[in-house]
Structure 1
Amino acid sequence: MSAHNQATWQNPPEPIVSMLDAPQLPAVSISPDNQWIIELDKPSMPPIAQLAEPVVAIAGGEINPNTWGPGREAAYEGMTLRRLDAATAMIIELPPTPRIRNLSWSRDCRYLAFTLTQTDGIELWILDVAQAKARPLTQATVNATNGRAYAWLPGDEGLICQLRPQDIGPPPEESPVPQGPVIESSAGRVAPARTYTNLLKNPHDEALLDYYFCSQVVHISLTGTITPIGDADLIRNVVPSADGQWLLRSTYHRPFSYQVPLGRFPIRYEVLNRRGEIVYEVADLPLADNIPVAFDAVRPGRRNFSWRHDAPATLVWVEALDGGDPRTSAEYRDAVFSLAAPFTDAPQQLWQSTLRFRGITWGHRTLALIKEFWYDSRKIRTWRIDPSNPQVPPRLLQERDAQDAYTDPGDPVTVPGSYGWSTLLLADSTPNESIYLNGGGASPAGVFPFLDRYDLTTGATERLWQAQGENYTRISRVLDAQATELIIRQQSQTTPPNYCQLNRTSRHTKPVTQFDDKLAWYADVQKEVVRYDRADGVTLSATLYLPPEDGTRQTTKLPTILWVYPEEFKDRQVASQVTRSEYTFTRPSGSSILFLLTQGYAVLAGPTMPIIGEGEREPNDTYIEQLVSSAEAAVSYLVDRGVADPDRVAIGGHSYGAFTATNLLAHCDLFRAGIARSGAYNRSLTPFGFQGEQRSFWEATETYIKLSPFVVADQIQSPLLLIHGAEDNNPGTFPIQTERLYEAMRGLGGTVRYVSLPAESHGYRARESVGHVLWEMVQWLDEHLKLPSTDD
């Protein structure tokens, strides 16, 4: 068939169709003060007509020119409100068919702000929680091309918001007559870039950027009074200080680039007072089109600007001490600086890192926790610093492999501090200063989340709570300084996630939500985390799903599909760890492979395929060998257990998983058929790195070529179904990747089918598209996998 034949949308067989249209479980937002709960209605999948709304692809992103918001936005369609301890919820009245996005609680939790997308623009609304009434604060004039577009001020002071400039007029029209060629040049300056999509292409694109990203910053009172602050500009973001008296504003400016996305354009950071006057220029960063292609590379100069959470108005930023280049030899990589209002003193250096700065959690005047990380070694460290006295030596709290889930101590528990922003929760009634750690709980015995109390002075850890039994329970909130009252989120294989309030001392629980299973058919699916060994001794794991027992399973092996996505490691012991729980609630949505269970298929989901490069060896140098060995171990396990017939096993994956599946079809004969969705297959088209590969094509030419299934398309003998979103905007996975592989296989006489989905991006969202993708997968596997079993 031709890759460009027009077809009509198809629906998959029952019961998949009914399942696709079943209502989804709502999303939940609990107020920071733990008094209120919002339940947000998730819409059914949008129609293709909604995804086909106008989109302007610009500077690496997509916007909707009708609304001045993101292109192809996802939104909620309704909300209810109730007190956390109440049983009855109040429906919040909104206009018909609302599209709710960008929710944010006020610092005192008296209000919830959100945006409402109309056909001609975006409005800013607030919900008065005590009155359970919502109202608009603006007309449909919010400029959300850069994100949320608003931020809360403290107390009753209202919000800072970005609006379209008044009287901006219509967008610039493109001249039908070219004014001249588009010329770019390079004079020997090193400027590598990964493969980005939707970049600027010509002067008209530049004019569109000037038009759509221009915003007027305003102050909006709770009564809706709007006061402009400063002049309109290409606003990136505006963040008020903790006390609300100062604004950290960032703006884009020229020269623009046709090679990198908007986030790397020149950016100016300034502190303004509430009158819009510039009181301090923080940084004016030049175009960043020459950042090295390495995961520890960062933008030179100052970066990561923020306000300190536990101080009224203290600016904090990070600055690279190695020029942002990890290849440069340097004793220290980064430094953290702070500067308090009124911003007239010299910045104070708080800390220096020997690895790359990863993040900071504020406690109080003399306490903050900082993390640093280095990708090449996967090493991560956590330090305690005294921000009030940088002369106090930092204290190392932990150092470990960042991928080592078994030694992960958990994340520090935070609560709203005196300014409403998150700060460390300090434990009461302890002789030394202590914090709480909320951990994932992966271990050789299984995955059982926990809560620890950690003594910052001695380093001693006390286990206060840990999940147990055949439930997967994770702490969502710690409600008091003794960690006695907790909000937990609990689920099992047959019970959807629900929130409960737990008294840790009495073990008494009180339901907060009571959601039921919308796809009860899957309650009888057999789900198990399985383990097996690779030939080199590395332990692998996967989640095995089997259809409900039908009385024939004792004698009949099932057609089986493996759905894959590999990961790189530097340590074989860490690569062998099991980090998934079999007690989670799993129900398919969208184009999930789990829908195939209804058609009698077994599914091995997420079989670990670690690509390990210990010492100086890079993982990808033996990618093919390790990949094939992992697949052989998985198929051998399924066959030996009696689940799968070796002649009826398929391989599939999405994105990097599609690249993986196609490589396996080319390099082994384990699989009768394959499915590859939205993948990249020719690594010469991503020459400055991909996935976990930091080296360029010219530094590792042999590896790039060896890893490209396009190069060995003549070795793909099994039938392959290729699916790709026609508007894929994910870096590296241009639709041309699938188009070229299809043409190669077609020209070589392979059995291949290519499905291009109009208006879809890297993932598939429209109801018509999702239904058709599932129809294609069922038809493909039925044709090529449902052959007579070798047992028959």
Structure 2
Amino acid sequence: MKSYFKLVYLLLGLFLFAKVQAQENLTYQLPPKSIQDLVDAPASPNVLFNKQGSRMLLLTPPAYPSIEDISQPIIGLAGLRVNPANSTTEAEISGLYQDIIIKDLHSGSEQKLKGLPETYRIGNICWSPNGNQIGFSNTKEDGVELWYADLQTCVAYKLTNDYLNDIMGNTLQWAPDGKGILAQFLQKNRGEKPVKNLVPTGPIIQENLGTKTPARTYQYLLQDEYDQELMDYYLTSQLQFVDLQGRASKIGEPAIYRKLIYSPNGAYILTETIQHPYSYLVPINYFPYEAAILDNKGSTIKTLYKAALAENLPTGFDAVASGPRAFEWRTDVPATLYWVVAQDEGNPNKKTDNRENVYMLGAPFHTGAKELFSLNYRFGGFTWGNDQYAIVQERWRKSRIQKMSLFSPSTGKVMKVIAQRSSEDTYTEPGQFITSDYATHGGSLLFDKGKDPVVFTIGNGASAQGDRPFLLRWNLLSNQQDTLFKSKAPYFEEPIFFNNQGILYFSRESVEQNPNIFARTLKNKKEKQLTSFTDPYPSLKGVQKQLLSYPRKDGIKLSATLYLPKGYKKEDGALPALIWAYPREYKSLAAAGQVKGSPYRFTRLAFRSPVFWVTRGYAILDQADMPIVGEGTKEPNDTFLQQIEDNATAIIDYVVGMGVIDRDRIAVGGHSYGAFMTANLLAHTNLFAAGIARSGAYNRTLTPFGFQGEARTYWEAPTVYNQMSPFNYAHKIKTPLLLTHGMNDENSGTFPIQTERLYSAIKGHGGTVRFVLLPNEFHGYRSRESLMHTFYEQDAWLEKYVKNRNK
């Protein structure tokens, strides 16, 4: 009898394990080979021109790092992710390069740098003023080195054995005379890191005395006094000027530098240094700081301003700190500073016609500042030209207004408004002004020959036919515009570099051709191909790609990019499909319906792309439009749920009507806000066979002071917050949902607990759900192992619940 009961219990236990399987410990798995090959495809090089247009760097990014590489310890300090082993901001290799080739644009010759170590990770690349050298860093496991390279001999040299501090601020920059590099170094005498006292000396107390101090949800904030000690230890830098023979001299005193910029003539240095008291509520960019002018030896010439801790900013995207801010050098004169001061105390809710005043102060900085003019909206930046002509930009996020005006720096007189438009209206976007150092977005306006302010812009060229990038010559007084170059079908051609010497450098790609760099002589339109980068994805040759345009029921025109498997014909039958999307807010129906992207772009794959699954027999609908519109006094999120359902219904009806997709075998997915959208669609519709939600936020009460484009607080719009939270409707999520999340997600609002709680809620109500938590990963997954395993999970989910749903 006892044996009988033992058998019953054993069978019952096996049944429950198979049915529930609450926890599963797997080693990292690999997806099918077709996906593996695409993940491991070599990255195409990036290019970087010097301002003279004489040289181009070809920079090859490394492959995905290993889980070992990204598993170095991370310390969260004031919103930063600090790698204490080498004084960088992350345990990853984004922004670094593993190979560098120098191409002479006159002779066409290509050379590799000599003198580099056997393995290296180059970053912080900056051109010398004459374009004959580059400064750069080499990141190692235990530190970051300062290097420079002579491009005439193509030899690289390590300048010093001291390690750089590459955590924040401007790590390195050339002196304007080109004789050396100013850089931030670790303090030689900083000693061992502080040791935490495991015995507390008292409680941690925060207090607010009746002042409104709303703040969004941030990660990696300071927690206690020990964190403050660590912040001072790791972030404090000693400035040094290092000449090209490696001789170093200290500049100024050790500090935490948030800004560090030479004046154009090299005589002065503008600094902003972080000051106490620190905050446990906001990240470092809100901490007190002191703005000052140093001479180029490091002596303080003038203290400009001491900014207070900005914990109590008003709510709203147009809120700024009160007092002077945005200290910068004019780029067109030797040594003149400017800054702005909010006239509404930084509060966008105050009614006033004058939002900002702009001030200037020139060397030797002994006199009072000169008020230049006032602005109707928030300051958006200057593009300096000369004493006669410059451009100021203004913006107002709430109404989406963008305004550009031509003015005279010598008199402060605004001559004319050259553009005023909605930031959402991509069809009227005039492009980015080309400057004398366009490659680094520095320098002053590049003027055409003549007296009038004739300038150049490069833009995306959004249109009803898709993006058609352009190079424009623009007379700012007469408003005459001449298009010097515009992308033509069947290519996507994008201007990269132009310095008004008669040659435009641009990239060209098509659906079947990967991007390469070309030079075009504008006068005779002769072209020369400069690079021959190979196709990184030969297995995608023959994949069918189409930019779709289809209507939502209220008339908005939506778009998405459809991928169909190689060799697929409609007679083969309707395919299973994966829709990948990300919601975006609009204040205008017209803007929401504008065409996005281009039908002629080469497919680029990244970890957020769903296109990998076209090799597995799925139809893919990538970048499917998911506009959320609220015109006039209405806010977009007031009808979020209805609009995402309308968007999803529109694309499903359209592609099913094309005869290429099976309505009963469609999955929806997204990352971050796209994951939030996915969970809501599964909670409130029956449109999908499965969902994939990666690194999302699902309970909006955990982001009570705003999220994404939502400026209202939870207490101002509780119904909106509650209705938009799929966590509140977890009992209705019966469609199979795959959840993934990085264990160390640093993104504002997307705490891993968001996914943990949604998983528990769905599981508790009997839903079909799987939760994959990725160790040592951030909001974006970085290691090859994590990426491959995520794709393994996604593939298994799609195969089981979508492709083979009815089997």
Q: Do both proteins adopt the same fold according to a TM-score greater than 0.5, normalized to the shorter chain? A: yes
Q: Please state how far the C-alpha of 1:721 moved relative to its aligned partner.
A: 0.1
- Which amino acid letter does the alignment assign opposite residue 22 of structure 1? A
* Residue of structure 2 aligned with 1:399, choices 420, 428, 447: 420
Q: Does 1:98 align with 2:116?
A: no
**Residue of structure 2 in register with 1:765 after alignment:** 782
Q: Which residue of 2 aligns with 1:447?
A: 467
Deviation at residue 156 of structure 1 after TM alignment: 3.4
Report if the CA contact (8 A) 2:505-2:519 is conserved. yes
Superposition TM-score, scaled by structure 2 size: 0.95
Residue 362 (structure 2) aligns with:
340
Matching residue of 2:82: 63
| Aligned residues of 1:474 and 1:490 also touching (Cα < 8 A) | yes
Q: CA deviation at 1:511?
A: 1.3
The DSSP-based 3-state class of the residue aligned with 1:229 is strand
**1:470 corresponds to:** 490
Kept after mapping to 2: 8 A contact 1:118/1:140? no
- Is residue 591–residue 764 contact of structure 1 (8 Å, CA) maintained in 2? no
Q: Supply the distance in 2 between the matched residues of 1:162 and 1:479 (Cα, whole angstroms).
A: 31
Matching residue of 2:597: 580
Match of 2:160 in 1: 138
Kindly indicate whether residue 578 of structure 2 is the aligned counterpart of residue 536 of structure 1: no
Q: CA deviation at 1:116?
A: 0.7
Q: How does 1:501-516 map to 2 (within 5 A)?
A: 501-516=519-534
Matched residue SS, 1:514: coil
Contact 2:435 2:441 in 1 (8 A): no
Q: In structure 1, how many angstroms separate the alpha carbons of the residues matched to 2:241 and 2:432?
A: 35
Aligned 1:107-186 pairs, distance under 5 A:
107-186=129-208
Give the structure 2 partner of residue 665 of structure 1: 682
CA distance in 2, matches of 1:760, 1:674: 22
Q: CA deviation digits over 1:379-417, x for unaligned, max 9?
A: 111100101111x23411111111111112222222239
- Gaps (5+ residues) in structure 2? 1-19
- 1:210 matched to 2:232: yes
Gapped regions of structure 1 (runs ≥ 5):
none
Q: Which residue of 1 aligns with 2:433?
A: 412
For the Cα contact (< 8 Å) 1:411–1:437, is it kept in 2?
A: yes
CA gap of 1:266–1:733, structure 2 versus 1, over 3 A, is same
| Deviation (angstroms), 1:421 | 4.2
Q: Which residue of 1 aligns with 2:340?
A: 318
Q: Does 1:640 align with 2:657?
A: yes
Whether the aligned pair in 2 keeps the contact of 1:493 and 1:523 (CA below 8 Å) is no
Distance 1:167 1:587 in 2: 47
Provide the rounded CA distance (Å) in 2 between the counterparts of 1:476 and 1:39: 14
Picking from 518, 523, 544, the partner of 2:536 is 518
Alignment-derived partner of residue 695 in structure 1: 712
Counterpart of 1:435 (choices 455, 458, 461) is 455
- AA aligned opposite 1:517: D
* Structure 1 range deviating more: 722-731 or 150-159: 150-159
- Alignment match of 1:30 (pick from 17, 28, 49): 49
Q: 1:707 to 1:614 in 2, by over 3 A?
A: same
Q: Is the 8 A contact 1:613 1:619 kept in 2?
A: yes
Cα offset for 1:662?
0.8
Q: 1:667 to 1:389 in 2, by over 3 A?
A: same
SS at match of 1:510: strand
1:264 is matched with 286
Match of 2:758 among 732, 741, 752: 741
Partner Cα distance (2:21, 2:261) in 1: 52
- Offset at residue 88 of structure 1 (A): 3.7
Amino acid at match of 1:525: V
Report the residue type matching 2:192 in the other structure.
Answer: P
Q: Is the 8 A contact 1:724 1:735 kept in 2?
A: yes
Partner of 1:73: 92
Distance in 2 between residues matched to 1:243 and 1:164, nearest whole Å? 27
Task: Map 1:543-692 to 2 at 5 A.
Answer: 543-550=561-568, 553-590=570-607, 592-692=609-709
Look up the match of 1:496: 514
Match of 1:776 in 2: 793
Aligned-partner SS, 2:254: coil
| Maintained 8 Å contact 1:108/1:420 | no
Query: Quick one: distance in 2 between partners of 1:533 and 1:311?
Result: 52
For residue 542 of structure 1, report the CA deviation from its aligned partner. Answer: 0.7
Partner of 2:4: none
Q: Alpha carbons of 1:3 and 1:435: their partners in 2 closer, same or farther (altered >3 Å)?
A: farther
Assess if the C-alpha contact under 8 Å between 2:241 and 2:251 holds in 1: yes
Over 3 Å counting, the alpha-carbon distance change for 1:70 and 1:536 in structure 2 is same
In the alignment, the residues of structure 2 paired with residue 678 and residue 689 of structure 1 have an alpha-carbon distance, to the nearest angstrom, of 18
Distance 1:421 1:171 in 2: 38
Partners of 1:591 and 1:774 within 8 A in 2? no
Bigger shift: residues 308-317 or 18-27? 18-27
User: How many pairs were matched up?
Assistant: 784
Asked if residue 44 in structure 1 is aligned to residue 44 in structure 2, the reply is no
- Asked if the contact 2:129–2:178 (Cα under 8 Å) also holds between the matched residues in 1, the reply is no
Structure 2 counterpart of 1:705: 722
Pairwise CA distance, 1:232: 1.3
| Aligned equivalent of 1:247 | 269
Identity fraction in percent: 39
User: 1:589 and 1:397 mapped to 2: Cα distance?
Assistant: 38
Secondary structure at the counterpart of residue 145 of structure 2: strand
The worse-fitting range, judged by mean Cα deviation, of 559-568 and 87-96 is 87-96
Asked whether the 8 Å contact 2:170–2:259 carries over to 1, the reply is no
User: In the alignment, what sits opposite 1:82?
Assistant: 103
Q: In structure 2, how many angstroms separate the alpha carbons of the residues matched to 1:360 and 1:412?
A: 11
**1:231: which partner in 2?**
253
Instruction: Tell me the residue number matched to 2:40.
Output: 21
Preserved contact between residue 126 and residue 135 of structure 1 (Cα < 8 Å):
yes
Query: Hey, what's the Cα distance between the residues in 1 that align with 2:62 and 2:531?
Result: 19
- Deviation digits for residues 702-759 of structure 1 (CA, Å, limit 9, x no counterpart): 0000000000111111000000000000001010000000010011111000000001
SS at match of 1:124: strand
Find the counterpart in structure 2 of residue 290 from structure 1. Answer: 312
Q: CA RMSD in A?
A: 1.7
Report the AA paired with residue 204 of structure 2: V
Q: Given the alignment of the two structures, is residue 721 of structure 1 paired with residue 763 of structure 2, yes or no?
A: no
